[in-house]
């Protein structure tokens, strides 16, 4: 199939290694296959690399593999263009149809012109940024690192609000979001950022920055602030429940965001791990992610199918993911709790008449 294509899109994953750098084995394998196919192909395709890779990867890793395996020359026999994607999980199709920008990185050859014409026709009103390979690669990391920065920034403000009686982080975030220089997106304070992109990309840019001799002081602070959110939640639980050893604690929400079963780098899982180290009896609930979590923790925690079940005999319930179901918790759901304590890391609980001790991250007590 590849040998008959005019355009080839490479979208394989680049997962994180233990040191924060990215794993390139899958993309190396993919482009090697493409290179071998090009040997017998009469086409002169444009090869788009959508996978997230650090600056220099296309020039120093991918291009040499393609040329060696194919015996052909980039710019003459085929085109190689960096085309990073900016998709959000649970809205990927919509984001593909309605991108905010198109980034094309590579040499200004006939293949780049072909790529530009393709995307101009596909998205006639969307800005197209044409640059070189390494800048296009960096743009993706800059984008995700800035989003992570906004989250850590608003979480730091939320922690300040937590210690000012009556202060409300949502009012603060909503107001500064009206400033066009700031914008309203990614200013929703919570337990920290997670998922398959932001944690990985922040660590990767930190690792890359250090390798080229630039100390990543700012990114270190962004990551440290994110990690401290979990400690804040544990302190809130301990403040309300005392010594946690042997107590039942309920976690409501396991996926890193609503409308997905994805638990990669989910803050909920990190919280569970820390609670287990404190010998806590953990019960969990999530509308979609239970089975994925079961594969990780097996019989170390209790899995439930309803909100009332996860809260039964619990000393504290912690809302971690902003599933709509959790905004509708009632007194009937909490009536069988051992202690009626709810910690709402997302501030989504709408029922102000709940018969419980209620604490929300970012709302000063």
Catalytic site positions: 197
Secondary structure class of 94 (helix, strand, coil): helix
Nearest by Cα to 80 from 126, 34, 119: 34
Nearest by Cα to 283 from 311, 262, 259, 263: 311
Q: Measured between alpha carbons, how far is 85 from 83 in angstroms, rounded to an integer?
A: 7
Q: Measured between alpha carbons, how far is 284 from 276 in angstroms, rounded to an integer?
A: 13
Are residues 154 and 173 in contact, defined by beta-carbon separation less than 8 angstroms? Answer: yes
Residue 265 to residues 15, 69, 199, 201, Cα–Cα distance (Å): 12, 36, 7, 12
Q: Measured between alpha carbons, how far is 139 from 14 in angstroms, rounded to an integer?
A: 16
The number of beta carbons lying within 10 Å of the beta carbon of residue 262 is 19
> What one-character-per-residue DSSP string does 174-231 give?
HHHHTSTTT-STT---SS---SSSHHHHHHHHHHHHHHTT---HHHHHHHHHHHHHHH
The number of beta carbons lying within 10 Å of the beta carbon of residue 302 is 16
First to last CA, the chain: 62
In this structure, what DSSP letter does residue 104 have?
Answer: E
- Please provide residue 284's backbone torsions phi and psi, each rounded to the nearest 5 degrees: -135, 155
In this structure, what DSSP letter does residue 272 have?
Answer: H
Q: Measured between alpha carbons, how far is 60 from 211 in angstroms, rounded to an integer?
A: 16
């Amino acid at each position: 199939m590849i040998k008959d294509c005019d355009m080839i899109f490479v979208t394989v994953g680049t997962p994180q290694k233990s040191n924060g750098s990215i794993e390139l084995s899958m993309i190396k394998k993919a482009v090697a296959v493409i290179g071998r196919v090009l040997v017998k192909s009469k086409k002169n395709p444009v090869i788009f690399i959508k996978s997230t890779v650090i600056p220099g990867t296309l020039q120093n890793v991918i291009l040499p593999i393609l040329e060696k395996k194919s015996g052909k020359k980039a710019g003459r026999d085929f085109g190689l263009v960096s085309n990073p994607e900016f998709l959000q999980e649970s809205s990927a199709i919509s984001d593909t149809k309605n991108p905010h920008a198109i980034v094309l990185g590579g040499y200004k050859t006939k293949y780049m012109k072909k790529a530009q014409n393709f995307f101009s026709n596909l998205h006639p009103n969307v800005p197209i940024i044409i640059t070189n390979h390494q800048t296009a690669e960096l743009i993706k990391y800059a984008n995700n690192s800035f989003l992570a920065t906004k989250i850590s920034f608003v979480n730091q403000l939320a922690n300040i609000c937590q210690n000012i009686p009556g202060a409300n982080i949502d009012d603060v975030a909503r107001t500064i979001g009206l400033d066009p220089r700031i914008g309203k997106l990614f200013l929703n304070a919570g337990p920290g950022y997670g998922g398959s992109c932001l944690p990985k990309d922040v660590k990767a840019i930190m690792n890359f920055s250090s390798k080229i001799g630039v100390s990543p002081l700012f990114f270190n602070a962004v990551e440290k602030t994110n990690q401290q959110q979990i400690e804040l939640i544990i302190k809130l639980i301990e403040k309300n429940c005392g010594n946690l050893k042997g107590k039942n604690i309920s976690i409501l929400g396991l996926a890193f965001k609503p409308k997905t079963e994805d638990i990669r780098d989910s803050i909920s899982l990190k919280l569970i791990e820390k609670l287990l180290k404190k010998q806590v009896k953990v019960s969990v609930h999530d509308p979609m992610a239970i089975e994925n979590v079961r594969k990780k923790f097996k019989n170390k925690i209790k899995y439930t199918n309803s909100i009332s079940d996860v809260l039964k005999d619990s000393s504290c319930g912690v809302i971690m993911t902003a599933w709509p179901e959790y905004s509708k918790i009632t007194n009937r759901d909490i009536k069988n709790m051992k202690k009626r304590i709810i910690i709402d890391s997302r501030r989504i609980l709408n029922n102000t008449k709940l018969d419980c001790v209620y604490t929300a991250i970012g709302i000063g007590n």
